[in-house]
A and B are shown apart, each in its own frame.
Chain A
Amino acid sequence: GEDVEQSLFLSVREGDSSVINCTYTDSSSTYLYWYKQEPGAGLQLLTYIFSNMDMKQDQRLTVLLNKKDKHLSLRIADTQTGDSAIYFCAVPNNDMRFGAGTRLTVKP
């Protein structure tokens, strides 16, 4: 089956860059996704990358995909306190497989 792994915690200072990493075992999906979950709220789609791309930039967000190594990362530039949340990578196969989520804490 599909395994999606993420580190559980990340703490950065406001203004720094945050990099959240995700590895997966297999994907036949056209897209790979990043979701954001703020405390007490449901998952919201943050960004996604087409599987034949290796990089996608969307304002402060940069998604990197290394298909050979099956590694997906999300970089948040100029991290703000409002970015504090749990970030899930999601790799669809026959169903949607989520990582355990990385809890990003941004300190002032």
Chain B
Amino acid sequence: GAVVSQHPSWVICKSGTSVKIECRSLDFQATTMFWYRQFPKQSLMLMATSNEGSKATYEQGVEKDKFLINHASLTLSTLTVTSAHPEDSSFYICSAPTGTGWYNEQFFGPGTRLTVL
């Protein structure tokens, strides 16, 4: 089946630095990818919709200048957490639908655990 990968799987960084997380669809093209974050023992929350070749659409309350999204190709979307702070520590997950149709499946990446010291 379709696979979505994320890199890195975990990252520890100092406060004030920027961290880039990659999401790749390995065997299918994804014009759209979704980015979620999950705080410990809490629900998955949609952050933004990444659109290939155009600007990402951010959910209410998500700072677009803080979480930069670039969907450079049909198989790669990146999320850059800029000037990271400890409160940005979270589990970031991407997903990609295999198509735009009603019955297309959506596949989730394994997630990236970010810890900001």
Q: Residues on A close to B: CB < 8 A?
A: 29-31, 33, 35, 37, 39-45, 48, 90, 92, 95-96, 98, 100-101, 103
CB of B73 within 8 A of chain A? Answer: no
Number of B residues whose C-beta is below 8 Å from A?
20
Cβ A45 vs Cβ B41 within 8 A = no
Given contacts A43-B95, A98-B108, contact A35 B44 (CB under 8 A): yes
Structural contact, B95 and A29, CB atoms closer than 8 A: no
The residues of B that contact A31 with a CB separation of less than 8 Å are 43
Query: A35 CA to B32 CA in the complex, in Å?
Result: 19
Residues from chain B with a CB closer than 8 A to the CB of A37 are 106
Question: Which 4 A-B residue pairings sit nearest by Cβ, starting from the closest?
Answer: A42-B34, A42-B46, A45-B43, A33-B43
22 sampled A-B residue pairs with Cβ under 8 A: A30-B41, A33-B43, A33-B44, A37-B106, A40-B32, A42-B34, A42-B46, A42-B49, A43-B46, A43-B95, A44-B46, A45-B44, A45-B45, A48-B43, A90-B43, A90-B44, A92-B41, A95-B110, A96-B38, A96-B93, A98-B108, A103-B102
A43 with B41, Cβ < 8 A, contacts A100-B105, A103-B103 known: no
